[in-house]
Every structure is written in C-alpha cells, then in structure tokens.
Amino acid sequence: MPAKRPPPRHAARRPAPRKPRTRKPTGKRRSFVWRYRRLLFLLGLLVFTGLAGAGYLLVRVPLPPEKMQAQTSFLTDADGDRLALLTSDTNRVNVKLADVPPVVIDAVLATEDKNFFDHSGLDPFGVLRATVADLRGSASLQGGSTITQQYVKNVYLGSDRTLARKVKEAALAVKVERKLDKQVILERYLNTIYFGRGAYGVQAASRAYFGKDVGALDLREAAYLAGLIRAPVGADALKNPKLAARRRDSTLRSMERARSITREEREAVAAMPVESYVIPKDEAEPTFALPDKGTQYFVEYVRRQLVAKYGEATVLGGGLRVKTSLDLDMQAAAYDAVYGFLNRKDDPAGALVAIDDNGFVRAMVGGKDWTQSQVNLALGSDGGGSGRQPGSTFKPFVLAEAVRQGFSVQSSLPAPAEIVFPKANQGRDYPVGNYEDQDFGGSLNLIDATKSSVNTVYAQLIDVVGPQKVADLAHQAGVESDLEPGLSLTLGTSEVSVLEMASSYTTFANRGERVPPTVILEVTTADGRVLERARPERTKVLERRHADIVTYCLRQVVEGGSGTGAQFGKPLAGKTGTTDDFGDAWFVGYTPKLTAAVWMGYPEGNSRKMLNVRGRKVNGGSFPTTIFKRFMEKATAGMDTGSFPNVTSFGGKTLKPSSRAVIPTTTTTTSSTVPDQAPTTTTAPGGKAATTTTTTKPAGAATTTSSTTTTTKPPPTTSTTKKDADT
C-alpha cells in the first residue's frame, strides 16, 4: 500500500464552520431617544442656538425709539364742545386705559391674548394653539402673537414677514415687558391697533362705527370691535354682515369661555343683526360741527394759523387739542341772520363777523355753502377772494383823527350838495357830491354830518386832518389792509375785509383800546401739555374821552340817522356804508360787549351792482341793518351788553373849512372820481364820470345848486324828498 502524501505546505488550513448566532430575548426595544438621538441632538443644538441668539438679542439689541404714531387733532368751540377734526389719512385719538370700559378690555383679551397678564411677552402655548387651530381649520380668531408682540410690530418694527423680523419681535417683546407695566402696554396697544375706516385705536374706532366715545360702548359693540382686529377691512358690518357676525360671535364665545360674560349674555347679543347697530361711515364722525351753519370757513382760517405756527405734519397728525373762540350758538345765529334772510335764488352774498370786547371772534360767516365755494368772504384777499370797499363805514376813522387832533365835533363845516378840490386828482379837479344832490342848507356840525353821512363835510374834514394820519389811525385801530392816503379815503374807496372792520370798531367799543382779533384760545398736546394760551394784549389807540365822543356820534346814526333799522333794544352805536352804484353795502355796529360787521354784495366784485334786489337798491341802511338786528337779537339774548359812558362835554378847537375846497355855483352832471385811484372804484351812481364847473365859491360861502353824488349817505336831518343811499 502506498504511503499517504503529506498536504502541500502552501495549502491553507480552513477554520471549522461556526454555528449561527441567535439573539437572546431581552423583553424590550431600544428607547425613542436612542433611536432618534442624532435628530434630537440636532434639534437641541438648534434650540440652544435659538436661545443663545435670543439671549444675545436681549442683551445686545437696544429697544429702538417708538415710531411716531399720527393722532387726530381736535378743534373745540369756546365751551369745549367739539368743532372739527384735523387729520390726514390717520384718525387716531389716544385715551387712558381707565377710560376704556372693562367689557372692551375683556373682549380684546379673549380674542387676542387671553394669557396676557400671565406671560412675559411670549406665549409658546399660544403659538402652539394657533398652529393646531390653523391645521384643524378652526374658526378661532386668536393668533400666535401676544398683545405685546403686536404692539412691538406696530410701534417698532412694521409688518415685514421675515424670520429675522419675527425673532427680533420676540426679543423686543420681552424687553418691552421688562420696561413697561402690563397696564401701560395694554393701553398703548389699544391706542395703536387699526380697526378699519381709517380709525386707529379704540376711541377713533368707537366714533367711526358707532358715533360715540369708547366709554359708552356696551357688549355688542365691544365684541364687534374685537372681531375686527385681525382683518378689519373685510369685516365691516355694512359691507360683509355675515363675516362681521361670525367674527363677533367668535369673540362672544371666547368671552364666555373666559367667564367674562354668561351664556345668556352671549346669546342675547348673537341674536342681534350686527348691521343694526353699526352706523354708516358718512354718519359716524362728522369732520365739522354745524356744517350747515358755515363753520368750515372759520375752521379753515384757524387751520391756516396753526399750520403757519406748528407745521402741517403736527397739525394734521400731532394730536393737538385746540380751543377756539367760536361760540356755536352765536355762529348759528349769525348764519341764520345772513342766509336765513338772503335765501332767494338771485340774492347777493353776505358775510358777518362778531367779536367780543376781549377780541375773541365769536362768529364768522364767510359764505353760504363750503361745498360750492371755499372763498371766505369775511376775510377779503386773505380768504381767497378780494377786499371790499367799506364806503361810509370808514368815516369814523376820519372823525376819530379829528377828535384826536383836538377838534370839537360841534365844529361846523359847509354841507353843500357838491364841493370841488381843484387839481387834487392828479392835476385834475376832484369833485365830491352828496347822494341825490342833497344840499343841507348851509353848514352842519360833525355830529349831524356823521348822522347823515354827508360826503361834502367829510371830504373837507379829511383834507384838514390829513389823509395819511387817518390811514395811520385806521391801521392802529385794526385795519391791516393797505390804505391809499388820498381824499377819497374818507369815502371808503380802499379795500378792506369784514374781519378788519369788526376788529377796528371794537377799538371804539373798548374806549380806545385795540385788541387784536383772536380765534385760538389754547393749544395743548394730546397728553395735556400747554403749547400756547391766548393773553389778549391791549394797545391804547385813543384817549377814552376821545373814543367816547366817537361812540356818541355813532349812537346818533342808529338813534335817528341812517342806521335806525339796526336797533334791537339795547345800547348801540354804528355806521352804515354803501359804495358807488350799490356795489357793496355795510353796517358795522357795537355794544360795549359785542361788535358785529355785516357786508352784502356779489362775490364777483363791484362789476355787479345791487340795483334791483327784491325790487330795490341795496344800501347800508336797508338789508345790512336788518341782518345785523336779526343776529344781535339772538346773540345777546340774556346777555348784559353793558352801557356806554355819558358824554357831558365835547370841548376842543373849532374846525375851520378846508382852505382849498370850493363850492360850485353852477354845475352839470357830476361824479366823484378818486384821486390817485383807479377810476373803476369811484364812478358815481349812474356811471357818469364827467364834471363841468362854471363858477366856484370858497367852501365857507353859501351855495344854492348842485348835482349828483358819490358813495354812501344817510337820510338828511332836514326835510327832503330824496332818499339817502344809507337809508
């Protein structure tokens, strides 16, 4: 048998086969943490990083200054009643939290942040709740942001939808919570949120939807407003009542769950149609009080003064509180006196300004309808139109200057129908005539000449005392318009405004003390800081005894002269005025406590005359005195208007006639062209402009014949068959 061969040396020894392993049962699976340990580690890292980032923001990111929140400015009348709103596109009125009813606070908290008083600015559970509600399609209105976060977004950050903004919002919310008390945060939030209709904050919203202040809201109104916060535009009850009702009802359910209302209260409100108690936008918050009484003209005048002082941004968005001088009762009486009387289709326009003894403008009628014309006829050129010639209402300034210069009002001057000043009109003769050729049969003293508004006497008077000095006195008394210092100034040919005439006559009422017209009594900020307060400054223009003499003469006008139609049962002084061809008609009168100026005419100017208004020519003694009387009867009802001082002695120097005035003995048609003035302001009644003088006499001589006249005149004290222009 052959021997066995040994295995090759290079052959590898194979290991013995192993038995398969079997796991011994342990009785449990590995833990969730173990299985997702890598994912959880990553999430933990992210959370740590987020917390670290939040901590960094809390430490490093400063709380930025609050964005300026525009607020509506308010105008009130002198009694503090609301007159007008001054706003741009943002209607916001801040209120104290104490002025907000608890039911409103409960509704907002239940809808927006029921844990507001428990968290520190962030509410993770609220975010989770909102997320789950969104996934389930719940109708709940509650969002993930806290009230503090919403406040931060509105005031500090804006509405950008970015992750960085959300992180910063959260950090700033915590900072705000650390800095401000919860009550302060809630108050500021309620004043910043938008409710639609241009209304920001609960006060503006309350006015916009219900026409009442927030303090008067009840449950149904509070629930409605709270339901608007998330998306106000689409949930307006008058645009989408179904959506508005769903929002309101959701708020009510949240309030019931929070136990701030009962089930019965919820069901009672839910049964009401939401559109039944939300008022239309155009009825909610009127911009003007008494817009049908012309308050818009006064408000615009005040607004312009405020803008000039504080700037438009502050006036329209600074939340100013402005108390004005306007008396709403007097304003209504003034408007009714003017346009309750001038109520026919073809009637001229009218304007009225009333000023008290402190210079406060109590009423201003600048036009009939603001929606048709924004030209304020009471302000002249400052109101967007033009000034108007005052006619004979300017004569008291000539009289006052004569008295100031020491002349006696008992002095007499010739009172012919016509008088001529040779070469006084740019080298040509300047004739002045009385209305309808009235010749007063010799001379008149200044008292009677004022009473009868005698042009020929007053033309001599201004020539003696000096036109420039008269112009200076009128400026000191309150006329701010430019005055042409010529002889025609005594006839009222320089244009002025109704406000100026009322203000300057107040100087006579105040016994020679000038008080500038004031329309703004006080301006404060929204938080009550006083910016200005009216302190009328009085300037002495005339001695008291001089002003009293002027008043005495003007009292004769209303007691037996051209202004008798203005009498209303209380002490009164005043003067009528009518311009050439009846283009303008005036009456300016005063008691010791209240002055009013009335003007009538056509807005287009002297190109249109009042020659046939209700079948008659309009002069100062006709319709203007009637309007004045209608106003004063109501404005002074129950008022002690005071009494004028007694004048027991006139004194003074005797006035001599003008040395250059001559009296024509024979004339043809005459008119009063105005020296140094455009001829369009001085044509005589009838439009004639030619004058032929054949023979003249010195002013001190007697006269027998004359022709026509120029401006305004009252009825003569002597008997005559001709009517005076101011009658």
Return the pLDDT at 179: 85
606 within 8 A of 681, measured Cβ to Cβ: yes
574 within 8 A of 588, measured Cβ to Cβ: yes
**Crossing angle (nearest 10°) for helices 219-228 and 241-257:** 110
Q: Phi/psi of residue 621, each to 5°? A: -85, 0
| Cβ neighbours of 656 (radius 10 Å) | 13
- Per residue in 423-470, pLDDT (tens digit) is 988 889 999 998 778 888 889 999 999 999 999 999 999 999 999 999
Q: Which run of H or of E encompasses 530?
A: strand 530-533
Q: Which run of H or of E encompasses 355?
A: strand 349-356
Return the pLDDT at 474: 98
Return the pLDDT at 435: 79
* 10-residue stretch averages of pLDDT, the chain, 727 residues long: 52 55 55 64 62 55 69 94 86 91 96 88 63 47 72 76 70 84 93 89 93 94 94 88 95 95 96 94 80 95 95 90 97 98 96 98 97 95 91 98 97 94 89 87 94 95 97 98 95 96 98 97 94 95 97 97 96 95 95 98 87 94 97 96 93 90 63 34 31 44 35 34 41
Q: Which run of H or of E encompasses 302?
A: helix 295-310
Q: Which run of H or of E encompasses 339?
A: helix 328-339
Residues 620, 614: Cα–Cα separation, whole Å: 15
Residues 463, 398: Cα–Cα separation, whole Å: 10
The structural domains of the chain, with segments of one domain joined by +, span: 90-284
Return the pLDDT at 24: 55
Task: Supply 710's token pair.
Answer: 């120029």
pLDDT above 70 covers what percent of the chain? 78
Q: Which run of H or of E encompasses 464?
A: helix 455-465
Residues 424, 467: Cα–Cα separation, whole Å: 13
Return the pLDDT at 119: 83
Residues 380, 502: Cα–Cα separation, whole Å: 13
- DSSP labels for 466-518? -HHHHHHHHHHHT--S----SGGGGGT-S-B-HHHHHHHHHHHHTTTEE---B
Task: Supply 430's token pair.
Answer: 């300047």
Q: Which CATH number fits domain 90-284: 3.40.50.9100, 1.10.3810.10, 3.90.580.10, 1.20.1250.20?
A: 1.10.3810.10
Return the pLDDT at 174: 84
- Angle among Cα 275, 278, 283 to the nearest 5 degrees reads 125
Q: Quick one: which of 348, 385, 380, 341 has its CA closest to 364?
A: 380
366 within 8 A of 383, measured Cβ to Cβ: yes
Return the pLDDT at 501: 98
Give the CA radius of gyration of the chain. Answer: 42
